[in-house]
Amino acid sequence: MEQKTTDARYKTIYDFEIDALTIVHNVVIYQGDGRQTFWEFFQRLECLGFKVIFTEMNQVKINWFLQGKKVRSSCYEVVWARDRQW
């Protein structure tokens, strides 16, 4: 995907989205339901002094669902950072 983007081989945003969704799909098939795996990684990061500094719901609408009256996503961007004073 990175090389395709660099080479301007994506003609539309939908071409890019298809590649992105294919990768997500393949990861889900390989990992299965990765929530438990991710929570284990999150706990390890916290133990190492990392903190969440930014989260955002993924903007790919195929990942969105309603929970009550709120729109949620099965995919989020999460940025972790650790203070340099360790």
Does the predicted model carry a pTM greater than 0.75?
no
Provide the pLDDT for residue 29: 47
The whole-number mean pLDDT for each consecutive block of 10 residues of the chain, a chain of 86 residues, reads: 66 71 55 66 82 85 88 83 69
Determine the Cα–Cα distance for residues 3 and 19; give it in Å rounded to an integer: 12
Burial classification of residue 63, based on how many CB atoms lie within 10 Å of its CB (0-12 exposed, 13-18 middle, 19 or more buried): middle
Provide the pLDDT for residue 81: 86
